[in-house]
Structure 1
């Protein structure tokens, strides 16, 4: 870092040294340390902001942002205002975003409006977009935008819940007006006037809202922006929230498109939508509360949907700890809902492959057990399971041990578990051997007639092991993901 700084002072290798100093500061987080060492003399940087090489100016500005010295803020602002090279104006703003830019707030808003009006060439368009994005970043940080409050809990709303494709009915039957539900390929669509009763359902992955009166989007990004801006999207958002202020959004495109096509569509549509909505909708790289999701169909058109982050999803807030092999909480919740008729109140429940405790926690949601025990060979998993269970207010005992070494003086009534997969154990032979040991182990810890709920991505292996052992009979099998081959098997010990 000292070498780069000396070069800048001597005027040697300015472009490489400015870039090197910027990257070194970011890598080591040493901006404030350097500022102290310079003891208020930043003339080497302020002079280079006037250098003829735009890349020198750009990287020096970014260095000044990392220093965090208030005296440099007006210098950066003046340099930004006089900068004529479009492609580096955004970098001055990135530097300024490290400071409180309240004195420049009105000028920032005026510049955003100016950029909407100016005519640009196709080559200039991306640089203008970058400057607009950087201006919004500064604006968001400076204004400390108040969050919108969702208030439409008892308004009449059309809702789409995304769910497991194999078990759409499991969610549909939990709605209090199931006859008004329409099943989609990967979800359920319905109308409700009581969202408070819908939100706690644990078997959906996402809650989305169709835009009233707008089923499909088509045409150029400008055409689609006009369709959105003149639709009921803004009235719907305003109806659902009490604050009268712009909505910060992000665009998500899910369609069969090349990555570069998606990026181009998102940039052009976001910019056009801001203009067409008179900036009541603002695209934000961070701090957004609304996701506008465009789902492509076979005809090349898009279904527009809204995801509202103003609706806080706290269903699985206990799951702060996880492992790469951990089951998704919504999958564990679906499994327990599917097998609920085989679970009973007051049961003593064991999970011999408990991981971070998700299966046991979700088992507790369905019927209150008298005891929950989790065993795992990984100490890290047990530690995380204890934390998750504490946050879920579920009383469980977790033991760090290989399951075959764990026994208890009282037999268990139920065993619920997410069995290790062949992919995790590297080969089919090892998972078959593990499943055999698991089935041999159950009679040592469970009473006769005990219920076992086993989730496995290797159903064929488990089914073969069950048939070989002969001490079990299968009560029910549920396919969770046909493509992945994952199933839940409910069986009993004779």
Structure 2
């Protein structure tokens, strides 16, 4: 098919239509058949870059970009410089982006400056903006922008801390400075001490609010105007050491279709760039600022800012993980909920330790004397040892099946994330594992010892506890009803 279509182009038969057809065929069959057929002769393709029909020039440029033959780059670059139709310019750049264009970066910057500093008629703006986006992406792909340093730890800031919805008060009670209150998804904070916030381990995300702009209109131009008038650029400058520009992306939380989201985001990003004189530059790959718009029931948008210039080091020890690993923020929440039952200088055992997250978070909150992590998966044990070393925790990890494990003395506490149904374990196998666990655990636990148990199978826990007088439930907390995840605090009564 590719050869037949190309031969029609050679014969000058409906060139535009057949170029479009050829592009579709290249997507399906790949470029190898056409490259083989051309045999290094690109004379016809290069001549079509001078065709009177701008759409012929556009399509042949995109085909040349797909072929990626180095000698085609110069043809494309010369054609781009000569092109007078604005709607074709961005397509030349799209084609050129697949080549080594590093020697052209100075020229690309000059063109971007020219487009940015000049005023354009309204009718031309769409195509000018497309070309500017293409130029910006090409330049950023070669030259990473300088990173900004966040310096706003002591500046009065309005924050949203996203937390587990069932346990917002756990985060709230850790905030001693500034003002704070719960809201539906977490905690609202006004504070001058971000260092205190950075020490809290039970929120999943930290977002900033612009004091003057809580919501924006459902019109991309008006929304952009509100953010600029509301001091977005000043907000960023005040909190960073290095000057503008700031590279951003828009994230829309909405039920609208992808097409509608894309159109809104595109128009708003263009307006933000224009109104800020490109002190804000849109980039979907090299950004440090995320402007998050959340659609409300009133068909306007709540505005939040995610600053990636803030380095979250709370869980920096977790360099290694496996598929079943618990999220550190969940482990931190579990530890906080269990804190009234945790003893200092205790001996703690995790029979299904994975990469060690549960034990590490337990140690960071209440220091134990001895900690033992057991897992039958050798790779997990190796990763656990690396994570605990980075966390500065002295934990003994043992590559062994818990049900084959023995220990010389009893422990004060079992602290664990129970296995759940996976590709390797069925529900029946997990049920059997719970039965074996509650029998085996008694071999290791002191009288009145505690089990802190995170589970996605609460019915198995309650069934086993009801069967055995040696266990009682002290507390039960829902962690995620969607995932059927619960935390149990159990106590051991061996003399019953």
TM-score band, normalised by shorter chain? 0.7 to 0.9
Cα deviation 1:172-203 (Å, max 9, x = unaligned): 1111237x212110111121111112112111
Q: Any idea what SS the aligned residue of 1:117 has? A: coil
Cα deviation 1:215-272 (Å, max 9, x = unaligned): 2111311111111111121211111112222111000111232232222211111112
Seen in structure 2, the aligned counterparts of structure 1 residues 156 and 14 have a Cα distance that, compared at 3 Å, is closer
1:195 match: 194
Distance 1:360 1:91 in 2: 54
Q: Any idea what SS the aligned residue of 1:181 has? A: strand
More deviation, 103-112/80-89: 80-89
1:408 match: 407
1:61 match: 65
Structure 1 contact 352–403 (Cα < 8 Å) conserved:
yes
1:198-277 map, 5 Å: 198-277=197-276
1:465 match: 464
Give the CA deviation at 1:158: 1.5
Whether 1:158 and 2:182 are equivalent positions in the alignment is no
Structure 1 contact 432–465 (Cα < 8 Å) conserved:
no
Seen in structure 2, the aligned counterparts of structure 1 residues 111 and 472 have a Cα distance that, compared at 3 Å, is same
Q: Any idea what SS the aligned residue of 2:122 has? A: coil
Seen in structure 2, the aligned counterparts of structure 1 residues 342 and 425 have a Cα distance that, compared at 3 Å, is farther
Give the CA deviation at 1:388: 2.3
1:390-469 map, 5 Å: 390-422=389-421, 428-469=427-468
Give the CA deviation at 1:346: 2.1
Whether 1:386 and 2:385 are equivalent positions in the alignment is yes
Give the CA deviation at 1:428: 4.3
Cα deviation 1:326-377 (Å, max 9, x = unaligned): 2111101111111122122222222111122211121121122233222223
Whether 1:368 and 2:367 are equivalent positions in the alignment is yes
Give the CA deviation at 1:403: 1.7
Give the CA deviation at 1:385: 2.2
Structure 1 contact 18–60 (Cα < 8 Å) conserved:
no
2:120 match: 117
Q: Any idea what SS the aligned residue of 2:215 has? A: coil
Give the CA deviation at 1:423: 6.1
1:330 match: 329
More deviation, 77-86/324-333: 77-86
1:90 match: 90
Give the CA deviation at 1:322: 2.1
1:99 match: 101
- How many residue pairs were aligned? 471
More deviation, 380-389/324-333: 380-389
1:77 match: 77
Whether 1:344 and 2:343 are equivalent positions in the alignment is yes
Give the CA deviation at 1:465: 1.2
Which runs of no fewer than 5 residues in structure 1 stay unpaired?
none
Distance 1:50 1:22 in 2: 25
More deviation, 363-372/163-172: 363-372
TM-score between both structures, scaled by the size of structure 1: 0.85
Question: What is the root-mean-square deviation in Å for CA atoms of aligned residues?
Answer: 3.2
Distance 1:226 1:58 in 2: 36
Q: Any idea what SS the aligned residue of 2:216 has? A: coil
Q: Any idea what SS the aligned residue of 2:353 has? A: coil
2:174 match: 174
Structure 1 contact 412–445 (Cα < 8 Å) conserved:
yes
